[in-house]
Structure 1
């Protein structure tokens, strides 16, 4: 049992990041879905490494540069995995007239106008929100935001049907999908860094992040028929943005 959980954790790390991991001796078709319980922990690793970059940079540069370097570190660690999903989702939802055409656009490796605008706005606002916080709070915010964003994506995996072509997807959905127990475990993992953040701003961050994520899910359900891997990346990014904006409000 413990060995399986370790294997699933490393599977999650391999799927979501570019970080080196031990080579898995075996792999089963449902492992990516089963590893979803560990997505928030992987997010916290990404957020923690980004936070270290921010704290180190804050000793040498102004807050804007430190925040920009921290966000850049997160992009490098994940290989822009979630940012790519955000851009593809923006292009697909903004540029197509039918679900089939929107899905086709989302599979195109080229980035269009909607995708570029989404990336500039989301990444720019994240940098601005982090720069407005004291370095220690900003570091804790990164740790919590990355974990919470992945937990939001796991919840969407459970609640929304899959709309894409599973045969060409980066993430291969399985018939039973993510189980409620896995969603609960993901949520519990995501919660612990939040105890170090101001309660009022934390609730505001969760609220704004939730509203932005719901908006993406609603549009995807209406225009695509459900979620895809790209939509999950967009959900993670907008929840992370809303969370940081809420924390930055009034601080």
Structure 2
């Protein structure tokens, strides 16, 4: 079975899985962003299996959650976390768009980035460790994060620079595709949660979580585009981590 070029590129860009891909044109990059939730699904399943294995071995919920998150970072080369840190440094610099972009492109991480990473990972670990259905929630969060990436590549989200990942994917994903991905995420989350838990309240909460996360990511995306004068690869990573974090948090409320 031949793997679609866009799916190959999605795994090649967004994960450590050894998937080869050739030089891609803009159409293939657009397809890769549309396929990105599938990458999130695979990573989420790996995280869920890691946590479940640790729980079976007698680990605490907190340890299982922390190692699951670490597995996600390893499987993505910490790509999205790095983007989040760079965006935090860019925002914290208080500089005009072009200078803020220069701050984000530096190889080091500044104090704003360190603090943001620290609290983000603490919040993620605390939320995931308190989830009644840890495996389910981590999978939903991983997929939601990649759907947020797809939305950031829809028309109206211009690229901040003429080079880099942002320039390759900005405004490349049709709105209908992003809407379809969102609908699929919410419907499948509701169905799987119903089969998993048989509890209507849990179904509502776990399905509401990615909806709230994606809405919040949309609002933050609009701010980042104004602040940095467009989308960059770092912005995509930051939006992914925001959606992941908020999905985990909302899913354990109530």
TM, length-normalised to structure 1: 0.88
Q: Deviations over 1:55-113 (max 9, x none)?
A: 00112211110000000000000000110110000100111321111111111111011
What's the counterpart of residue 46 of structure 1?
43
Conserved? CA contact 1:143–1:193, under 8 Å: no
Supply the RMSD in Å over aligned alpha carbons: 2.1
Q: Verify: 1:35 aligned to 2:39, yes or no.
A: no
**Secondary structure in structure 1 of the residue aligned to 2:124:** helix
**In 2, Cα distance between the equivalents of 1:232 and 1:125?**
20
Give the superposition deviation at 1:152.
1.4
* Residues 9 and 185 of structure 1: CA distance in aligned 2, closer, same or farther (over 3 Å): farther
Pair 1:187-2:185 in alignment: no
Figure out how many residues of one structure are paired with residues of the other and give that number: 243
The partner residue of 1:234 within 225, 238, 249 is 238
Structure 1 segments (4+ residues) deviating >6 Å: none
Q: Which of 160, 163, 178 is equivalent to 1:164?
A: 160
> Does the CA-based 8 Å contact 2:16-2:75 persist in structure 1?
yes
CA–CA separation in structure 2 for the residues paired with 1:160 and 1:227: 10
Q: 1:100 aligns with which of 89, 98, 101?
A: 98
Alignment partner of 1:58: what SS?
helix
The aligned counterpart of 2:138 is: 142
What is the correspondence of 1:1-251 to structure 2 with a 5 Å cutoff?
A: 3=2, 6-21=4-19, 23-24=20-21, 26-30=22-26, 31-59=28-56, 60-134=58-132, 137-167=133-163, 169-173=164-168, 177-191=172-186, 192-197=188-193, 198-250=202-254
Q: Is the 8 A contact 1:17 1:78 kept in 2?
A: yes
1:212: how far off?
3.5
Corresponding residue of 2:196: none
> Does the CA contact (< 8 Å) of 1:92 and 1:105 recur in 2?
yes
Q: TM-score, normalised by structure 2?
A: 0.87
Change (3 A) 1:160 1:228: farther
Q: What SS class does the counterpart of residue 129 from structure 1 fall into?
A: helix
CA shift, 1:10, in A, is 1.2
